């Protein structure tokens, strides 16, 4: 079984569904409320676990009800929680999300204990990191912690995958050590200054990131699919249509978890992206973050029976 280590955030998502997204100063009446597990790190860990990997999560929670609920959820998903540390001074991370009837969302995150994940925590987990096939990072934890984790992963010659979300400018010395980067269009613009609208502009953005030392760049482009630029393949891999879009909260995280396990299993890059696209397509047909992430059997079934969008 492939071993994936995720170094990242844990949040509890509080989701209100409304007919539209609010304007500044506007009060809207929503029509439903849901509390679910979230945080980009946790979402990607759950995705990789449901899709068939042996997953360890390195993260921080607060000593509170949200933290305890997260731990129980990870146990159910069979995720290794040995390196999830409890912070006695900071609350667990939370996210407040509004989703409209089209599936679009706005999100405000209070990071809490995610912001205290530190370099010592990373080194305490070195035994887990050095045995992983892929180490997966995002940017809801301190940049210094990301840098420390990437450095430790490369010390042990482990593959590093970075999902540069939420969008942020990043030091070139960090990017130089990344093997695979998976920005969406917004994040690609932040990192490269290039607005990605199609395959041509996607390749231009990829070329900038290649110039920073990253060999494999995959730009996720929503319904269009994902654009790959690597040594062995360049081109747009179309997405799948799995049903009516309910919300897109965890689509990117599901894609990353799916991509990580597919690559860890030795799939060629185009096949790995097809698998990740299918997983992401299924996630948008359900509400919530972790609640929407599909199982491996669902993804395989979609790939067999449903055409690309």
Residue 123 has pLDDT above 90, yes or no: yes
Task: Please give the positions annotated as active site.
Answer: 253
CATH number at residue 298: 3.40.1190.20
- For residue 20, give both structure tokens: 């539209």
Instruction: Please tell me the predicted confidence (pLDDT) of residue 104.
Output: 82
Residue in 279, 229, 209 with CA at minimum distance from that of residue 49:
279
According to DSSP, the β-strands at 54-62 and 3-7 are parallel
Number of domains making up the chain: 1
Residue in 249, 246, 222, 244 with CA at minimum distance from that of residue 97:
249
Q: Is residue 32 within 8 Å of 17, Cβ to Cβ?
A: yes
Q: Which residues 6+ apart lie within 8 Å of 117 measured at CB?
A: 7, 58, 59, 60, 85, 141, 142, 145
Per-residue pLDDT reduced to its tens digit, 70-80: 999 999 999 99
> Please, what is the average pLDDT of the chain?
93
List helix spans (H) across 159-266: 172-175, 185-192, 199-211, 251-264
- For residue 194, give both structure tokens: 């290039």
What is the domain extent for residue 198? 3-24+32-305
Per-residue pLDDT reduced to its tens digit, 124-179: 999 999 999 999 999 999 999 999 999 999 999 999 999 999 989 888 889 999 99
Residue in 262, 250, 6 with CA at minimum distance from that of residue 138:
6
């Amino acid at each position: 079984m492939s071993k994936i280590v995720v170094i990242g955030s844990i949040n509890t998502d509080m989701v209100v569904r409304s007919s539209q997204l609010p304007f500044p100063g506007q009060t809207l009446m929503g029509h439903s409320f849901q509390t679910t597990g979230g945080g980009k790190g946790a979402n990607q860990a759950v995705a990789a676990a449901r899709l068939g990997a042996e997953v360890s999560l390195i993260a921080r929670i607060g000593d509170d009800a949200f933290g305890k609920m997260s731990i129980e959820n990870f146990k159910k998903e069979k995720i290794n929680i040995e390196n999830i540390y409890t912070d006695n001074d900071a609350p667990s991370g939370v996210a407040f999300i509004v989703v409209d009837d089209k599936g679009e969302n706005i999100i405000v995150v209070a990071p809490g204990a995610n912001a205290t994940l530190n370099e010592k925590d990373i080194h305490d987990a070195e035994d887990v990191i050095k045995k992983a096939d892929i180490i997966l990072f995002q940017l809801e934890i301190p940049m210094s912690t990301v840098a420390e984790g990437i450095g430790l992963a490369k010390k042990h010659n482990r593959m590093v995958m970075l999902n540069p979300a939420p969008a942020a400018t990043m030091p070139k010395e960090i990017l130089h050590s990344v093997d695979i980067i998976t920005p969406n269009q917004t994040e690609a613009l932040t990192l490269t200054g290039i607005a990605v609208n199609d395959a041509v502009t996607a390749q231009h953005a990829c070329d900038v990131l290649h110039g920073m030392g990253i060999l494999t760049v995959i730009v996720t482009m929503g319904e269009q699919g994902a654009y790959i630029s690597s040594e062995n393949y360049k081109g747009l891999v179309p997405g799948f249509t799995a049903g009516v879009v309910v919300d897109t909260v965890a689509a990117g995280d599901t894609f990353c978890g799916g991509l990580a396990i597919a690559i860890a299993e030795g799939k060629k890059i185009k096949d790995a992206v097809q698998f990740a696209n299918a997983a992401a397509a299924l996630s948008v047909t359900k509400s919530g973050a972790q609640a929407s992430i599909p199982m491996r059997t669902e993804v395989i079934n979609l790939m067999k029976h449903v055409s690309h969008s």
